[in-house]
Amino acid sequence: MCHNLEMATPRVSVLIPAYNRANYLPETLASALAQTYSELEIIVVDDGSTDATAQVVRAVADTRVRYIYQNNRGVSAALNTAWRAARGEFVAMLGSDDVFLPKQIETLLPLLERDTTSGFAYARAQAMDAQGNPLPQILGASPKFADRPLASLLYGDCVCGIACVIRRATLERAGGFDETMLANEDWALWIRIAEFSRFIFHDEILARYRMHPTSLTGARSEKYRQIVLERIRLIENYYAQPNAPADAAAVKTLARRNVYMDAGIRLLAIGQARQALPYLARAIRAHGNPCAATLRVTGVTLFDLYFSKTRWGVALVDKLVARRRGTARA
């Protein structure tokens, strides 16, 4: 069921999948409606909520807001429902517990208008706690390899989905979101898009993502380990396909090292050291150079578990990465 279809055709459609988020959804909707770029619609797909999600959306008087209800099928299915209903030439995604900063769309949309060869543009998002207080952690990073979009995304998930504007035609060509995935559907989408399109990184914080105990992808989620291992399957399944692109094959060792390392670190973060160690060991073996791999795994583990939770640690690593990539380009 949907309503508020009488408005003029929007340029940008904001997609909000929602499941039992009545407590955070008012702030999320307010941030979308407060965009300095106003030629937009907001599509909330209620994925079978049992709380007051429907009442929260219906209480918003702005005609740019549309509400669609479906039986619970997961975030990928809700996003697919949303973009297929979208009327905008461009789409943006917003978690039902996250917020846009006011100039997100105004900042990213012109980048795509100027560069018609790129399928999406993205920026960074900063973490906040359940009450909305800022935290040091940052999502979104510059691509690892200049002008090699596929290699960069297989190397690691550098894109922040809630700080992103995508061409709807690009999303459609990529086939939308994989509904067999519990989470990580956005990383899988970026990889498929990168097989045929460029993308743009804008180095600015344009959104806030909320870290709270009831988050599906949070460390306290009962499905957290399943989501972590799904990331490994994503990379392994990609390289199991025949005739992988040459640029993908060139980073296979690094991609496998990184995803094993990522799994090990995430399991360490929730106190599962015994389960984490085999993945960290696989990361070292996958790299081929045990000494270099051990240093890399140790450094990234320290950053993710400790330094990323401090402002000075985030700033220091940003500077080191920028210096290293600048030297590499030179």
Q: Are 187 and 232 found together in one domain? A: no
CB-CB contact of 246 with 137 (8 Å):
no
The owner of tokens 């030439």 is 89
Amino acid (1-letter code) at residue 29: L
CB-CB contact of 94 with 15 (8 Å):
yes
Q: Are 235 and 170 found together in one domain? A: no
Query: What CATH code is carried by the domain that includes residue 109?
Result: 3.90.550.10
Q: Percent of the chain beyond pLDDT 90? A: 68
Q: Are 234 and 283 found together in one domain? A: yes
More confident residue, 265 or 308: 265
Q: What is the pLDDT of residues 107-166, one digit of tens each?
A: 999 999 999 999 999 999 999 999 999 998 899 999 999 899 999 999 999 999 999 999
pLDDT value of position 4: 46
Q: Are 233 and 193 found together in one domain? A: no
Q: Average pLDDT for residues 254-271, to the nearest whole number?
A: 89
Q: Are 93 and 242 found together in one domain? A: no
pLDDT at 328 over 50: no
Question: Can you say whether residue 146 is alpha, beta or left, with left for phi > 0 and alpha for psi between -120 and 50 degrees?
Answer: beta
Of the residues 179, 210, 241, which one is the last residue of a structural domain? 210
30 in a structural domain? yes
Q: Average pLDDT for residues 19-33, to the nearest whole number?
A: 97
Q: Average pLDDT for residues 190-219, to the nearest whole number?
A: 87
Total number of domains in the chain: 2
Point out which residues pair with 201 in neighbouring strands: 122
State in Å, rounded, how far the first CA of the chain is from the last one. Answer: 55
pLDDT value of position 29: 98
pLDDT at 218 over 60: no
Of the residues 184, 210, 236, which one is the last residue of a structural domain? 210
Main-chain dihedrals φ then ψ at residue 5, nearest 5 degrees: -100, 5
Element containing residue 127 per DSSP (H, E): strand 118-128
Q: What is the pLDDT of residues 287-301, one digit of tens each?
A: 767 777 677 777 776
pLDDT at 254 over 60: yes
Average pLDDT, the chain: 89
The C-alpha atoms of residue 35 and residue 39 are separated, in whole angstroms, by: 9
Q: Are 27 and 95 found together in one domain? A: yes
pLDDT value of position 305: 66
125 in a structural domain? yes
Amino acid (1-letter code) at residue 9: T
**Degrees, nearest 5: CA angle 73-76-82:** 95
Q: Are 137 and 230 found together in one domain? A: no
Residue 2: helix, strand or coil by DSSP? coil
Q: Is 57 exposed, middle or buried (0-12, 13-18, 19+ CB in 10 A)?
A: buried
Its domain, for residue 315, covers 224-329
Q: Please report which residue ranges of the chain form alpha helices under DSSP H.
A: 25-33, 53-58, 75-85, 104-114, 149-155, 168-173, 185-194, 224-240, 246-250, 252-269, 273-287, 290-305, 311-329
The C-alpha atoms of residue 220 and residue 161 are separated, in whole angstroms, by: 21
pTM beyond 0.95? no
